[in-house]
């Protein structure tokens, strides 16, 4: 019998990516009896599972790092502006070791079900292998992008070559030098791997359903002065980042495009383009609310595609027209467009070349046959809800998350779900999550949850649950804010549009990290307005005795 079999933990965290590792540390420091369970055999979350060639982050490494510990900050040195996967994974492992967390993590434990007993007020988790765990509270740190999307493409089951999803890259090196390789998908993942695969493969065929806007990373090693500047000013810089809408220190333009002289608009876009990274998207403050501004920036980016690609026909195929720029995630790449100038690269643009089917040894379209030995699915994820719904989450009172979310996810502040007491979600739908610097957001959420747990423990563990009315109002607000922007004009994974049969609903909160975190603070300071504590609302910050009716 394992030590977990009879134990009742204060909290169990599911997942040990950036969120779970920090949450485990934070809750242990706060005195809770807490463990984490992890499907993989190491920490790292998406940085553990994803290992495809070219993977690196597209947020500056100095910002895509924990803020809570001066020691971690001082003892780690990021090598490059956009750190590669191996380095980010090493950093999370370093944090877990430095904070001595491994004894409190149950690895190789994929949770299959979570059942809340409304009478005993205890959650029971059961793993796929049949291990069970019990806790008063569970914290879903399962990640927004952790369940691969494997679309049912006609004939794919007949393919006899090697089929790989980007998230399930094999441990052994894939030797591609004598292979015809095809990649389906041109999102951030495809854009990162395509230039490297093209260098290695005998021939690379790219299958594009919707072109991406891609900006140049201009990745480079950090110099000592930059690192030192961050060391000296770390706290202030992180506070500044928290007060921005993306949680990242982009150079935010403060004016709408119309308020800038036309010649200055282009000059500023050029300057930002040369600087590299997503900065080119932040020149005007109305990119996502004004169609004209959006077109100005989109035209600028399409012009860059025309300059980079030698064949005008191919350049045209690579240009996105069907959605406003920024409403699908803009990719940050290196030599992405230039790769299409290579002799060993072909582009199948599904807008102009209809896919007939995948065959045992290649791809057949209306225009011809493309031989393929290795087929790579860079087709993304069942984002934001996939990992939560992969677990059968239910209560003895008869609620099932799969039923409750049948028409799309509903949360209060992304943190709680009505009907599911004592369960917290980290960067859930309805929070800025994937529209923010994820590391900054997971730290915020784990801090908020830990403070909430302290509040509850001091009151002898009353139940804690989102009020259905507050949840409905928050969801209306999330929708309203999204509707004031252009984000619903794209068939994006933010809306669930990439997964067959998934309800279409814009999931992240686009009101900004700054606004969201201020609202979370108000909620906590008011005595958790919008949450039911011990079954009732604690009003106006004046906590009533829980026992008195």
Dist. CA 269–CA 299, nearest whole Å = 11
3-class SS of residue 211: coil
Nearer to ligand NAP, 178 or 500 (CB): 500
Question: Which residue stretch of 205-213, 218-226, 272-280, 361-369 sits at the interface with ligand NAP (rule: CB under 6 A)?
Answer: 205-213
Nearer to ligand NAP, 187 or 421 (CB): 187
Q: Verify binding: residue 434, ligand NAP, rule CB under 6 A.
A: yes
Q: Verify binding: residue 209, ligand NAP, rule CB under 6 A.
A: yes
The one among 92, 138, 145, 215 contacting ligand NAP by CB under 6 A: 145
Least CB distance to ligand NAP at residue 351 (A): 10
The one among 205, 379, 395, 431 contacting ligand NAP by CB under 6 A: 379
Binding mask 157-186 for ligand NAP (x = CB under 6 A): ---------x-----------------xxx
Total binding residues toward ligand NAP, as defined by CB under 6 A: 25
What's CA 80's distance to the chain center, in Å? 21
Q: Verify binding: residue 276, ligand NAP, rule CB under 6 A.
A: no
Q: Where are the beta strands (DSSP E) in 97-249?
A: 105-106, 111-117, 122-127, 132-140, 162-165, 180-184, 203-208, 214-216
b or e along 329-355 (b: 16 or more beta carbons within 10 Å of the residue's beta carbon)?
bbbbbbbbbebbeeeebbbbbeeebeb
Nearer to ligand NAP, 61 or 395 (CB): 61
Dist. CA 93–CA 17, nearest whole Å = 10
Distances (CA, A) of 542 to 185, 216, 546: 53, 53, 12
Least CB distance to ligand NAP at residue 403 (A): 26
Q: What are residue 277's phi and psi, to 5 degrees?
A: 75, -170
Least CB distance to ligand NAP at residue 248 (A): 12
Q: What are residue 315's phi and psi, to 5 degrees?
A: -55, -45
Binding mask 37-76 for ligand NAP (x = CB under 6 A): --------------------xx------------------
Dist. CA 218–CA 277, nearest whole Å = 7
Backbone Cα Rg of the chain: 24
Site for ligand NAP in 87-126 (CB under 6 A): none
3-class SS of residue 536: strand
Q: Verify binding: residue 437, ligand NAP, rule CB under 6 A.
A: no
Residues whose CB falls within 8 Å of the CB of residue 183, separated by 6 or more in sequence, listed in order: 190, 193, 194, 197, 204, 205, 206, 207, 376, 378
Site for ligand NAP in 210-239 (CB under 6 A): 210
Nearer to ligand NAP, 64 or 464 (CB): 64
Q: Verify binding: residue 244, ligand NAP, rule CB under 6 A.
A: no
Nearer to ligand NAP, 33 or 150 (CB): 150
3-class secondary structure per residue, 6-41: CCEEEEEEECCCHHHHHHHHHHHHCCCCEEEECCCC
Nearer to ligand NAP, 459 or 489 (CB): 489
Cβ proximity of 545 and 527 under 8 Å: no
Other CB atoms closer than 10 Å to residue 169's CB: what's the count? 18
Least CB distance to ligand NAP at residue 119 (A): 41
Question: Which residue stretch of 105-113, 145-153, 389-397, 415-423 sits at the interface with ligand NAP (rule: CB under 6 A)?
Answer: 145-153
Residue nearest to ligand NAP (CB): 187
Closest CA to 206 of 343, 339, 347: 347
Least CB distance to ligand NAP at residue 540 (A): 39
The one among 493, 506, 509, 531 contacting ligand NAP by CB under 6 A: 493
**Interface with ligand NAP (CB under 6 A):** 57-58, 145, 151, 153, 166, 184-190, 192, 207, 209-210, 329, 378-381, 434, 493, 498
């Amino acid at each position: 019998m394992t030590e977990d079999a009879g134990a009742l933990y204060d909290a169990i965290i599911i997942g040990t990516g950036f969120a779970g590792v920090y949450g485990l540390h934070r809750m242990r420091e706060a005195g809770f009896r807490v463990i984490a369970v992890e499907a993989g055999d190491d920490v790292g979350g998406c940085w553990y599972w994803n290992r495809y060639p070219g993977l690196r982050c597209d947020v500056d490494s100095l910002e895509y790092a924990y803020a809570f510990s001066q020691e971690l900050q001082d003892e780690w040195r990021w090598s490059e502006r956009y750190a590669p996967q191996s380095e980010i994974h090493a950093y999370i492992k370093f944090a877990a070791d430095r904070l001595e967390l491994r004894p409190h993590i149950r690895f190789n434990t994929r949770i299959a079900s979570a059942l809340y007993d409304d009478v005993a007020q205890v959650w029971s988790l059961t793993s796929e292998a049949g291990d069970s765990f019990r806790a008063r509270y569970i914290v879903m740190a399962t990640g927004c992008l952790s369940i691969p999307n494997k679309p049912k493409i006609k004939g794919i089951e007949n393919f006899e070559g090697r089929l790989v999803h980007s998230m399930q890259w094999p441990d052994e090196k894939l030797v591609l030098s004598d292979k015809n390789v095809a990649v389906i998908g041109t999102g951030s993942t495809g854009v990162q791997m395509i230039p490297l695969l093209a260098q290695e493969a005998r021939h690379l065929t790219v299958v594009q359903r919707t072109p991406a806007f891609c900006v140049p990373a201009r990745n480079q090693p950090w110099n000592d002065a930059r690192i030192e500047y961050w060391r000296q000013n770390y706290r202030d810089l992180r506070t500044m980042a928290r007060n921005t809408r993306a949680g990242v220190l982009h150079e935010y333009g403060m004016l709408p495009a119309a308020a800038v002289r036309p010649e200055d608009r282009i000059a500023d876009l050029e300057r930002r383009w040369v600087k590299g990274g997503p900065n080119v998207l932040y020149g005007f403050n109305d990119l996502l609310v004004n169609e004209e501004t959006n077109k100005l920036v989109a035209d600028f980016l399409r012009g860059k595609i025309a300059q980079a690609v030698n064949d005008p026909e191919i350049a045209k195929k690579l240009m996105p027209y069907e959605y406003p720029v920024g409403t699908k995630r803009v990719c940050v790449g290196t030599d992405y467009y230039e790769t299409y100038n290579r002799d060993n690269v072909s582009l199948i643009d599904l807008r102009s070349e209809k896919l007939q089917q995948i065959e045992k040894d290649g791809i057949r379209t209306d225009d011809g046959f493309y031989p393929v030995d290795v087929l790579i699915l860079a087709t993304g994820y069942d984002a934001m809800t996939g990992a939560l719904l992969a677990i059968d989450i239910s209560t003895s009172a008869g609620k099932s998350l799969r039923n409750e979310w049948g028409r799309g996810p509903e949360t209060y502040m992304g943190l709680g779900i009505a009907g599911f007491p004592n369960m917290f979600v980290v960067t859930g739908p309805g929070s800025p999550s994937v529209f923010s610097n994820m590391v900054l957001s997971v730290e915020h959420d784990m801090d908020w949850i830990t403070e909430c747990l302290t509040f509850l423990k001091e009151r002898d563990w009353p139940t804690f649950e989102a009020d259905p009315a507050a949840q409905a109002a928050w969801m209306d607000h999330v929708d309203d804010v999204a509707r004031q922007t252009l984000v619903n004009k794209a068939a994006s994974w933010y809306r669930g549009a990439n997964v067959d049969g998934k309800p279409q609903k814009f999931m992240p909160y686009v009101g900004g990290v700054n606004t969201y975190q201020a609202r979370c603070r108000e909620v906590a300071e008011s005595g958790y307005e919008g949450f039911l504590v011990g079954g009732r609302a604690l009003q106006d910050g004046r906590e009533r005795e829980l026992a008195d009716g």
